[in-house]
Chains A and B, each alone.
Chain A
Amino acid sequence: MSPIKFLTRTRNGRSLDWTDWMSYAYLTVGLFLMFGPVLWLVASSFKTEAALTEFPPSLLPYGQKAVAVPGEEKPKPVYRVKLPDGTTKELPEVRRIGLVATHVDPAKPEEFIRVNVNDREPVREFRLATENYTDLAGKLKFGTYLWNSVFITVVATLLTLLFNSMAAFALSKYKFAGRKGVFLLILSTLMVPPAIVLVPNFLVISELGLLNSLWGVIWPAVATPTGVFLLRQYMLTIPDELLEAARMDHASEWKIYWRIVLPLAAPALAVLAIFSVMWRWNDFLWPLIVLSKNEHFTLQLALNAFQGDLVTQWNYLLAMTVITLLPVTIVFAFLQKYITQGIASAGVK
C-alpha cells in the first residue's frame, strides 16, 4: 500500500464518513500535541540567539541577512533602508550610534549613508543557525560529556544484561531451597521507592570511594528487579529438555548458560537492553548526586549546568537538548517492535 493511500484510507473505502472526520481530527490533534513540542524544539535549536528572543516568535528559523563589507572583519547585518530620495535599498549596517545608523553600499564602500533607525527594517532570510551545533564542540567539553554518557550507558547496559540474565537463569532453571523466597525478595524491591534508597546508596558509594567516578553511576544501576523478572519469565519458556540434552552433551553449566540459554533468550535480552539504554541515558538524579566534577558530567548534567544563574544561552541549550534526544529516539525508531513486545510481556515501562 502506498503511503498516500495508507494515510487517506476511509471507513467504507469511498467518501469520508463522519467517523473518518472524527478519527482524522483526533489523530491530527494527537499528532500535534505529541509531536509539536519536539518540532518546536528542533526548529528553535536552529535559531540564532537573537531570533529566539524575538516576539512574536516565528516557527521557522529566520536570521537576519548579513553580507561581507570591504574593510570590515565580520559580515554586517543587512537592512532594507528608505533612502532620502524615497527609494528603498538593501544595505549593510556598519555601525549605529543612538537613533542614527550608518550604512554602506558594498559596491561603493567609501560612501556612507546615515539614516534614522525608524526608516529601515532588517532583511530576514531562512537560515539554519548550524553554529549552535558546531560551536558546541569547542564551547564546552561536549565530547567529554558525550563520552561519559555513552560509556555509562553502554557499560551499564552490558553489565545489566549479564548479571540479570545470570540471576534469571538460576531462578528459572535450577531447583534449590528458597528459590521462591529469593525471587519474591528481588521482586519486592520493586515496591521500594527509589527516593528511599538514595541516601543508603550514596553512603555505600561514598564508602567505596566511587564518588566522582563513572563506576559510581554504573554499579548501583546494574541489578534491576525488572530485568530479572522479565528475563526469568522468558527463560521459563525455554524447555528443560534442551538443557538436559546439553548436559548429556558434556556441556558445563556455564556453557549451557552461555551457548544455549543466552542465545535463546535474545528477544527478552533485546527488550531489557532497550530499557536499560533509555534508563541510563536519561538518568539525571543519580549522576547528579554522584558526579560533581565538571569533567565527569554526563550530557544530562551538562544540560543542567548550562542553565546559568544569570544567563542562559538558549540557542546552545536547545541544540544540546536535541543531540541528547537523538540516541533514545533512534533506539525507539528501530526497536519499537521489541519495546511493545516487552511492555506486553512484562507489564513494565
Chain B
Amino acid sequence: MSASSTAEAPFVPKTKVGSFTNFVDERVGGSGILREFGRKVFPDHWSFMFGEVALYSFVILLMSGTFLTFFFDPSMAETHYQGSYTPLYNVEMSVAYNSSLNISFDVRGGLFMRQVHHWAALLFVASLGVHMLRVFFTGAFRKPREMNWVVGGVLLILAMAAGFTGYSLPDDLLSGNGLRIIDGVIKSIPVIGTYISFFLFGGEFPGTAIIGRLYVLHILLVPALILLMIVIHLFMVVVHKHTQYPGPGRNDGNVVGYPLGPVYAAKAGGFFFIVFGVLALMAAAFTINPIWNYGPYDPSPVSAGTQPDWYIGFVDGALRLMPGVINNFHFEWIVFGHTLTLNVLLPALVPAGIIFTVLFMYPWIERWVTKDNREHHVLDRPRNAPTRTAIGVAGFTWYCVMWAAAGSDLIATHFHVSLNDVTYWLRTLFFIGPIIAFIVTKRIALALQRKDREIALHGRETGRIVRLPHGEFIEVHAPLDEYKRYKLVGFESPAPLPAQPNEHGVVTRKEKRRAALSRWFFEDRVAPATPAELEAAHSHGHHEAIEAGDEQKSLSH
C-alpha cells in the first residue's frame, strides 16, 4: 500500500513499483481503500495506548506460540527424562513435561521463546484489563459503542481462557495442582458437576486426555475466537471512529487528531516494536514459570506459596476467603440425599458472576438511568462523572481485595503476620472495601471538580504575594487563556431526572426506581462554571481568589 502513492499515472505506470501497484489496484480497488483510510484522523492520547499494547501482545503471542508448537508434544504418556537438565535425569514424567523441558534446555532460543510467550500472555490480559478500565472511567462505552464494550468483555474472558489453558500445558507440578483445583470447583456444580469433570478429563482426574484437549483449545479454538473478536472490535472502531478527550475544538460532531499516514501509522507501528522490545527485555532478564524447579505433576506433593497466574488470582482469592464453617454452621449441605457444597460453589461463581454481569450490563444501566440516547464521542474526564468513577473504583477495589487474598499466605510470611488475621481482615475488606472506595472516590472526584471551577473562575496561583496599600497580603492569580479554561468548563453535569409519567399518564414503579437511581447518581454534583459566574468573579474585585470549596454548601442537594 505504501508504495501506491507513486502510482500517479492512471493508465501507463512509469516505474516498476508503479506498474505492480497498478496491477493490484486494477484488480482489488486499493485506491478507494487508501483514499478512505490513508488520511483518516485518529485522536492521540497516552491512555489510548493500552488497547494497542493488548493487540501487539496478541500478535507476539501468535508468533512465539507458533514457534513453541513445533517442539511441544501434548501427550500424557509416561517417559523418562533424558535431556540435559541433570537434576531431573531419568525421572518419570509425561511426554508433555518432557518436551517443555526440552524446549527450555535443548532448543536454542527455546527458553527465550517460552518466556516471551508467558510474559506476553500476562501482559495481554493486563493491558486488556487496563484498557477496559480506561474505557469505563472515560465513559467511552456510551452510545454508539455499547456493543464494542461487550466485545471487549468477551475478549477479556477469552484472554483468561487462553491464559489458563496455556498455563496447564507443561504438566508440571504447579499447573497440575491448578488443574486439580479446577476439577474440585467443577465437581461442586450441582447435578452435572461430576459428569462435566469426567467428560473434561476423560475419566477420573488427572487421566491421560486433559493436556491434549487443552492444547487444542489453546492453540486453535480460543485464539481463533480471539482473532474473530479482535476483527469485530477493530471494525467497529473504524465505523465509530475513535473517541476523543474533551478540549477546545473537540465536540461530538468531529474528530481531532493526526492523520493515519504518516504520523499516526508511524507512532502506532513503531509502538509494536517497542512492546516487542520490552517483552524481549523481560524475557531476557526475568525468569517466569521455571517449570524445571517444580518437577513433573504428581498428585501427592505441593509447594507452599504457590500462585496462579495473576488474572486467575481473584477467583483463587475468593476461594480462600470463603469460610467453610462459621461457628457450627457448615456451608456444605445435604439436599434430598445430594451434596451441595456452597463453600466452593459460591466463591467460584458468585463474585466473578457479579463482576462480569455488571460489566456487561453497565452501558445499558447508565443509559436507562440517564435516558440519554445521544451519541457520545467526547470522553468524560473521570472527575466529571463522580458516581460512575466511584462505582468503577469500588468494583476495582473489590477485585483487588480478592486478588490480594490469592496471596494471603505470602502476605503473612513476608510481613510476619498471622495468616488467620490476614484472612479475617481481607474478609472484612471484601464487604466494606468497595463501600469505602466508593465514598472516598466520589468525594475526591467532587473535590477535583470544585478545584477546576476555582481555577476556571479565578485563574491559577502564581505564587506571587502582593502587599496591598492597606497592608493586606494577597496572592496574585493569573487568569487562564480561553483554551485552557474551556477544558475545565466544557463538560456536562447531568442533574437528577425526576420520574416521568408514561403515555397513559402513569408513573410506573420501574420509572420510580429509575428516578431514585438517577437521584443517587447525580444528586451530588458540581456544575461547570458559566460565563456569568466568571463575570461575577471578576467584578468582585481585585482579587481573584475566592474561597473555593465551601464544602457541602457548594453541592446542591
A-B complex is real? no
